[in-house]
Amino acid sequence: MENELVLTEKQIKEFGRIWFIFGNDGKKCTLFNHKLVQGFYQYRENRINDYRHGKKNMIENPSLGKEYAEKNGVTEECIAACELILSNP
């Protein structure tokens, strides 16, 4: 798979830790934060760009709009946490 990665045990442990913050009904959970972290933790997929563009597309879609995107979209804080884990093998 194109987006598949090899993660170190340390990275897997860190994705598990942030799973309870940005996913799994954590205090900063949104639908797409959940899916982004789940992708790293369970499926070893890097979908940061897909979710970043997806939020932009939701905002521009008249049937979804900015309110939906803010409630459900991936947050820059979640992306930054994922990128930090990826940069520290």
Q: Answer for the pair 52, 79: CB distance below 8 angstroms, yes or no.
A: yes
Query: Which pLDDT score is estimated for 39?
Result: 95
Query: Which pLDDT score is estimated for 45?
Result: 94
CA distance 55 to 44: 21
pTM of structure: 0.90
Query: Which pLDDT score is estimated for 3?
Result: 61
- DSSP bridge pairs for 45: 4
CA distance 73 to 68: 8
Q: For 49-80, what is each residue's pLDDT tens digit?
A: 999 888 888 889 989 988 999 899 999 999 99
Asked whether residue 2 carries a pLDDT value surpassing 70, the answer given is no
User: Secondary structure of the chain: what % helix, strand, coil (to 5)?
Assistant: 65, 0, 30
